[in-house]
Chain A
Amino acid sequence: MSPDKMVRMANQIATFFETQPGADGAEKVAAHINDFWDPRMRQQLLDHAATGGGGLSPLVRAAIAHIHAPAA
C-alpha cells in the first residue's frame, strides 16, 4: 500500500492508545499491529521505520521494537 496510507493507519492506532491510561502504550500499539496486520504489511512498516520512519508518530516509533518481524 502507499507509504502515506500505511503511516496514516499506524498513526491512527497510536492515536487511540495514546489516550489510554498506563505507560504501556507502545506495547499495546505493537500488539494491535501484530494481531491485525498481515506479514507483508508489518514488513513494510518495519522497512519504513528502518529507513527513517518519516511521518510515523513517536508512539509508533516506540512500538516498532515490539512488532514481530515476519518469518522470512
Chain B
Amino acid sequence: MKDFIIPGDRDMGTPARDGAPVVLTIDGFEVTVPEGMSVMRAAAEAGLDIPKLCASDNLEAFGSCRLCVVEIEGRRGTPASCTTPVAAGMVVRTQSPKVQKIRRGVMELYISDHPLDCLTCAANGDCELQDMAGAVGLRDVRYAPGDNHFETRAEAGGEANPLYVPKDDSNPYFTYDPAKCIVCSRCVRACEEVQGTFALTIQGRGFDSRVSAGTPADDFLTSDCVSCGACVQACPTATLQEKSVIELGTPTRSVVTTCAYCGVGCSFKAELNGDQVVRMTPYKHGKANRGHSCVKGRFAYGYASHKDRILNPMIRDKITDPWREVSWDEALGFAASRLRGLQETYGQRSIGVITSSRCTNEETFLVQKLARAVFGNNNTDTCARVCHSPTGYGLGQTFGTSAGTQDFDSVEHTDVVIVIGANPTDGHPVFASRLKKRLRAGAKLIVIDPRRIDLVRSAHVEAAHHLPLRPGTNVAVVTALAHVIVTEGLMDEAYIRERCDWDEFQDYAAFVSDPRHAPEATEMLTGVPAEELRAAARLFATGGNGAIYYGLGVTEHSQGSTTVMSIANLAMLTGNVGRKGVGVNPLRGQNNVQGSCDMGSFPHELPGYRHVKGAEVRDVFRQAWGVEIDPEPGLRINNMLDAAVDGTFKGLYCQGEDILQSDPDTKHVAAGLAAMECVIVHDLFLNETANYAHVFLPGSTFLEKDGTFTNAERRINRVRRVMAPRNGFADWEVTQHLANAMGAGWTYTHPAQIMAEIAATTPSFAGVSYELLEEKGSVQWPCNAANPEGTPLMHVDGFVRGKGRFIVTEYVATDEKTGPRFPLLLTTGRILSQYNVGAQTRRTGNTVWHAEDLLEIHPHDAENRGIGDGDWVRLASRSGETTLRATVTDRVSPGVVYTTFHHPETQANVITTDYSDWATNCPEYKVTAVQVAPSNGPSDWQENYSQMADRARRILPAAE
C-alpha cells in the first residue's frame, strides 16, 4: 500500500544514489543530483512528481507500467523516467501533450481490466491506481466489455469467468485478491530485493500474467512466504491488503515508534484511528531497518489487546491461594510492607529485582535504582544474564566496551561474513534480509553452526563454507581458525602492531600456533572437516572486509565468555575492527538487551558498565540519589535462586520476564521461587513465573508508554505512546509507585526526566536527551561532548581500552557429557514466528506457523529409535523430561537434536541443566546430554505442572 504521508516520507520513485553532481533541467527548473540517479527521482527531488505505478524507491527501477514516460530534448521517443539515468545538460519535460496523452491511454488500459468498486474497496483513499487515474486526468474508458480478470459472472447466471481467481485469505494477516492486481511486479520484486525470500513470481505471459505464491498448488500460507509484509507494503492497490484495514478502515494518523521484539530494533509507524491501531508499517527512515519488517513487528501486535491481559493488580497470601483483585494502593502497600518486613527479618540483602530487556531504558534504570537506592543493595539482574552477559565480559576484556562495534548499514560494505551461533533469518529477520542482499551482491558467507540453518543454502544465497561443529566446541573451532591464520602468515601484522598490545599478541600467537590447535588435531573433537576449516580461515583472512555476527549459540555455553574473546581475537588478528564493513556484532535477542545492560542492570555494575567497587562512581550516584551505594556486588539471577533455596533470599520484584519458562533447569527455578516469601510479578499476562507470585502488578505494552530502546547497534530509538495504558499506568509509573510505597519520594512525571538523570550520571549517555532524539530520530552511544551526534562505528582510531588485548583461549570441554544413558546432545533456539517464551506471539495469529515446539532429529538417530516424523517422543536429561513431537530432518547432524522453547506446555527448560559460563553464570542452554524415545503421552512433570498452573491462575471475583 502507499505510505500514509508524514513529512519527508514521500516515495521518490527509485532508490537514492551516491555520485558526482550532475546538473540538468526538468520542466524549466535546474536540478543538481548525484550521477546514476533516475530522471524520475531527480524530478521528485525538485518537487515534480511524475506519475508512476510500478516504481517505488525501495526497489530498483523496472520500467513496466509506462506511466512515467517523459520527453527529453535530443532523444527519440518517450523514455521511461524510472529507468533513464540523468545526464549533464539534459532537458526533460514531464508534462507535454504527447506524454499526457500516452499516460491517459495507459491508464485507460489498466482501468479496463480493473473493477470500479472504489467506494467499497479496502484501499479506497489509499490506492495509487486511484491517485494516478486522477493525476493523468482519466475521464473515460472507451473499451467495450470483454475478457477480464475481475468479473465472476456467476451472479449474472452466465458462464463462470475462467480468468477469475478468487481471493486467497490463507495468510492470517493479509489477503491476496487477484481481481485487483495490475501486475506491476512490485510485490514480486519486494519479495526478492527487500526480503530476499523469492516466494512470489509472475506466472504466465501477457494477458495471462498473474502473481503467484509458490507453485500453482500453493496458497500464500503453504508457499515459502515468511509474511514479512514487504509485498503488502509495495502493492499500489488493494490486491495485497492487511486484513486489519479491511476490518477497521484506513488509518487517519500515524506515530513513529520502535518495535518491541528482537534486538534489531526496527522503526515502525503505528497507524491508527483514534487510539485503535489499524496497522504497523515499517518506517522508511528507520536506520536499523531502512523500511523493512518481519512478521512479528509488522503483524504480531494483537497481544496488546488480548483477552488474557491482566488489567488490575492482584495479591494473595500464599501461592496456593487464588488471586484477589485489589486497588493499586492496596497491592503496592502489601508489596512494600512485605519487602520491608523481609529486610527487617532476613537482612538488607535478602531481596532484589530483575529488570526486563523488553522494557524501556528509563524503566530499567528505575528498577535497578529501586534496588540500589531503596532496597540499599545491588541485587539487580536482567534477562541479559541468560543471553548476552558473556558479550559484556568478553568484549569488555578485549576491546574495552561491552557492545557491538558497527551499525547495521555496515553490512553493505562487507566482503566476508562469519555467522556463528546465530540464525538471523529466524531470530533477526530484518538484519538477515539486509545480509542476504549483500550476499546476493557477491559477499561470501561462512556459517559456523551445528544446524544447517537457512542461510547455509536458500534462494540465491549459499554459504561458501558451513562448519557444522559439535555443540560445545566453539572455542576449539575459532581457535583453529586463528591457528590457520597465524601459522600460514595471513594475519594483518601492521594492524596488530599499531592497534594491539604486541607482547600479548606474542603470547597469543605462540599459543594458537601449537599443533594441538590445528584443524586436523581438533577435527575428531569438533566434527568439522579440517580442509573446510582451513579454507574458511583463508577466506576470512584474505577476502577483504571481514565481519563477524554472532548470537546465543556463542554465549550460552560453559565457555561463552571465552568464545566471545576468541571472536574478538579473530577480528583483531585480521585487522577487522574500526571501519565500515567489518567488526564484531552480537545479535541481541530482545529489543532492549543492550539498553538493559547499559542501564546498570547487572549486580556488579552501575549504569555505564562501572563496577560498584569504584568509590568515584558510587559517589556520582550518592550525590544524585542522596543514598550510599553498597560497594559489594549483588546476586545474579541464578545466584538469587540458589540463595532462595538456602533461605537467605526472600523477595523478588520481577519486571517483564518469565524466569520460570525462560531460565534453565525449571525445577530448580521453581524451587527457588517457591522458597521466597514475596514474589512480585509485573507483566502483561499471568506468565509461568506468576504461578509462584504473591503480587501481580499489571504491565503496559510498548504502544502505551514513552521511552527509549537501545538496539544491537547501540542505537537509542524513541518508543512513543500511541494509546493510554489499558492497565492505568506505564511501567515506569508502577515502579515509581512501588518505590514511593517504600518511602522513596520519587517525583518523575515523564520518562524524559529519567533520561536526563541517566545523561547526568552516565558518561556514554551524557549528550542524550529527548530533544536530540526528536531532532536526529536516533543516536548511537557513546553520545557526549566528544561525539555529540553519537558513534556509528566504535574503535575507529584505536580501541576504547587503549591497545586491543589478545587473550589466550584454551578449549575446555563442558562438564555436560554424553554417555550411554544420554547419548545425544540437545541444542535450543528460536523460530521466526515466535518470540522467546511466546507470551506475546502465542497470543497472535502467528501460531498458525508454529503451534507447538518440535524436536528436530536426524533420520539416523530416529531410525535407531523407531521414531517417525510427527511421532510423540520423550526427551530426557539428567535434569528432567518432557514430551513433544519429532521432526525427522537432516538439518541437524547425527547425534544432535534441536528444539525451541516457545511453549509452556513443552517446557524445554525442564531438560536444560544449571551449568553455566565460567565468567558470568550465563546458562549453558546450548548443550544438554539427552535421550530420546517414543512416547505416548505427557511426562509426569507436564501433567503435574499443568494442574498446578491451572490452580495457581484462579482469580476470585472482585469484591464489590
Contacts and interface: CB of A to CB of B under 8 A. Distances in A.
B914 interface: yes
Contacts of A37: 633, 639
B808 A38 contact: no
Contacts of A41: 635, 639
Contact of B639 (A12, A32, A38): A38
Given A1-B642, A21-B507, A38 B914 contact: no
A5 B603 CA distance: 20
Contact of A19 (B613, B635, B810): B810
Interface string A10-43: 0011011001110000000000101111111100
B918 A12 contact: yes
B558 A12 contact: yes
Given A12-B918, A16-B918, A1 B349 contact: no
A40 B349 contact: yes
A24 B92 CA distance: 76
Contact of B634 (A9, A12, A16, A38): A38
Contact of A13 (B633, B642, B648, B918): B918
A38 B918 contact: no
Contacts of B633: 35-38
A7 to B, nearest CB: 12
Nearest to B378: A38
Nearest to B645: A1
Contacts of A13: 918-919
B444 to A, nearest CB: 32
A70 interface: yes
A9 B921 contact: yes
A39 B559 CA distance: 25
Given A35-B604, A41-B639, A15 B914 contact: no
A39 B350 CA distance: 12
Interface in B596-653: 603-604, 611, 613, 632-636, 639, 642-643, 645-646, 648
Interface string B8-46: 000000000000000000000000000000000000000
B919 A70 contact: no
B207 to A, nearest CB: 70
A15 B814 CA distance: 12
B642 A21 contact: no
Contacts of A16: 562, 810, 812, 918-919
Nearest to B352: A38
A3 to B, nearest CB: 11
Contact of A1 (B378, B558, B643, B807): B643
B815 interface: yes
Given A13-B918, A15-B812, A15-B918, A38 B613 contact: no
Given A13-B919, A19-B808, A40-B648, A1 B611 contact: no
Contacts, number: 61
Contacts of B642: 1-2, 5
**Interface-centre pick from B558, B603, B642, B645 (highest chain A CB count, 10 A):** B642
Nearest to A44: B646
A1 B646 contact: yes
Contacts of B648: 40
Interface string B444-475: 00000000000000000000000000000000
Interface string B558-574: 10001000000000000
A32 B812 CA distance: 19
Contact of A38 (B558, B611, B632): B632
Contacts of A15: 812, 918
B808 A21 contact: yes
A19 B378 CA distance: 31
A71 B721 CA distance: 46
Contacts of B916: 9
Nearest to B632: A39
Nearest to B812: A15
Contacts of B646: 1
Nearest to B504: A21
A20 B808 CA distance: 6
B918 to A, nearest CB: 4
Given A13-B919, A16-B918, A21-B507, A36 B604 contact: yes
Interface string B907-926: 00000001010111100000
A38 B919 contact: no
Interface string B830-844: 000000000000000
Contacts of A32: 919
A70 B613 CA distance: 13
Contacts of A70: 632
A35 to B, nearest CB: 6
- Choose among A13, A34, A37 the residue with the greatest number of B CB atoms under 10 Å from its CB: A37
Contacts of A34: 613
A58 to B, nearest CB: 16
A39 B349 contact: yes
Contact of B349 (A5, A35, A38): A38
A32 B396 CA distance: 14
B518 to A, nearest CB: 18
Given A32-B919, A70-B632, A38 B812 contact: no
A34 B612 CA distance: 11
A4 B137 CA distance: 82
A8 B613 CA distance: 25
Contacts of B562: 16
A61 B645 CA distance: 26
Interface in B794-811: 807-810
Contacts of A19: 808-810
Contacts of B378: 38
A8 B349 contact: no
* Residue from B603, B632, B646, B920 whose CB has the most chain A CB atoms within 10 Å: B632
A36 B639 CA distance: 11
Contacts of A20: 807-808
Contacts of A40: 349, 643, 648
A35 B810 contact: no
Nearest to A37: B633
Interface in B910-958: 914, 916, 918-921
A9 B920 CA distance: 10
A46 B481 CA distance: 40
A21 to B, nearest CB: 5
B914 A5 contact: yes
A42 to B, nearest CB: 9
Which one of B507, B639, B916 has the highest number of Cβ atoms from chain A below 10 Å of its Cβ?
A: B639
Contacts of A38: 349, 378-379, 603, 632-635, 639, 643
Residue picked from A12, A13, A20, A32, most chain B C-beta under 10 Å: A12
A13 B812 CA distance: 11
25 contacts: A1-B642, A1-B645, A2-B642, A5-B914, A9-B916, A9-B921, A12-B558, A13-B919, A16-B810, A19-B808, A19-B809, A19-B810, A35-B604, A35-B613, A36-B919, A36-B920, A37-B639, A38-B632, A38-B635, A38-B639, A39-B349, A40-B349, A40-B643, A40-B648, A70-B632
Given A16-B562, A21-B507, A36-B604, 18 more contacts: A1-B642, A2-B642, A9-B918, A9-B921, A16-B810, A16-B812, A16-B918, A16-B919, A19-B808, A20-B807, A20-B808, A35-B633, A36-B919, A36-B920, A38-B378, A38-B603, A40-B349, A40-B643
The 9 closest A-B pairs by CB, nearest first: A1-B642, A19-B810, A12-B918, A21-B507, A38-B635, A39-B632, A16-B918, A13-B918, A38-B634
